[in-house]
Amino acid sequence: MKVLVTSPANPEEAYAPLVEAGHEVIYGRPIDAGRGEPYTEGELLELCHDIDGVLSVPTALTRRVMEQSPKLKVLVNSMIGYERIDVEAATELGIMVCNSPTPENFVSVAESSIAMMTMLAKRLKRKEARVRNGEWSQGSDRGFLLWQKTIGLVGLGRTGTEVAKRLAGWDVRLICSDPYASADKAKEMGVELVDLPTLLKESDFVSLHVVITPETFNMIGEEQLRMMKPTAYLVNTSRGEAIEEKAMQRAIEENWIAGAALDVFHEEPLPVDSPMRNLDPERVFLTPHNIAHTDASLVANRAMAVETLVTALSGEVPGPVVNPDVITKWQSR
């Protein structure tokens, strides 16, 4: 069978299991980390027309591309997120979609979320800037304790769970809004389940850990931001589309909230002229959707994706299937 790797990472030996399984591997151009232009739909139509499987990161795969790729059976993203893939179209067409939820990935995101909270609480950007500018400590640089604060987790999936586990010994109050989280799991994690308005009103930090669905798209807008304490901070290491960015800008500029730490945005890379770049750097911490990237997560994610693709192309159902409703139709192809 023929496999397309849309954004290969060196060394190519990482994809050796595909070759060893007898598949022809076609390597596209690197497009992650700003190393190349994203594929156009036209390019993907040409590349995928006789492809059986795609290992995709971070490539948009549309309904049109899938409809005009009659041999296509499986799409595997070597990350946890899969928002760029039209999963509904894939399911209708009998195409299996898989992701790569490795512990190296979601544990790193959890660690990064806590790091952002700590950085904001201790005002580390301001303190470091003083030293670099030849200054020294001032009273206005004082931070505050996370101890006995309320941390609100929006989502108790893999990453939210890892955040809760890591904060369990910090003597903080953990609350969570997640309509799909069970009461038993929350109790086991030492987390109090509440609705979103309650979480927003009571939290000192609101940390987002969601995938993008119709329910979560722009779920944090003006109404929600105005519910937050003026001393509270918003942390987002999940998906930029969860926050309505114009409302976020107003919230900072008009002091509805104390600040934010954002690793993700609606448009990535963040445009050079984006107003987000002009927000007060002492109150807003911006990173380029890579705060959780590590060598370990890159290797683990790629290995899982390759293994998943080999399994699926052999006719077996792999573990991380995003659209399980497709399995019966996929097996009949």
Choose among 215, 79, 222: nearest CA to 154: 215
Known catalytic membership, residue 268: yes
Beta bridge partners of 161: none
Choose among 108, 98, 61, 63: nearest CA to 78: 98
Rounded CA separation 5/17 (Å):
13
| Res 13: pLDDT | 84
Rounded CA separation 49/118 (Å):
49
Question: What's the average model confidence in pLDDT over 129-144?
Answer: 94
Q: What are the tens digits of pLDDT across the range 213-227?
A: 999 999 999 999 999
Q: How far is CA 246 from the centre of its chain?
A: 20
Cβ 87 vs Cβ 58: under 8 Å: no
| Choice among 123, 283, 289, 302 that is catalytic | 289
| Res 31: pLDDT | 66
Question: What's the average model confidence in pLDDT over 172-193?
Answer: 97
Question: What's the average model confidence in pLDDT over 136-160?
Answer: 96
With 80 as the cut, is the pLDDT of residue 37 above it?
no
Choose among 36, 43, 72: nearest CA to 309: 72
Length of the chain counted residue by residue = 333
Known catalytic membership, residue 226: no
What is the reported pTM?
Answer: 0.91
| Choice among 128, 268, 277, 333 that is catalytic | 268
| Choice among 23, 123, 209, 239 that is catalytic | 239
Please report the domains of the chain, with CATH numbers, ordered by start residue: 2-101+295-331 (3.40.50.720), 103-286 (3.40.50.720)
Question: What's the average model confidence in pLDDT over 65-93?
Answer: 94
Q: What are the tens digits of pLDDT across the range 236-287?
A: 999 999 999 999 999 999 999 999 999 999 998 899 999 999 999 999 999 9
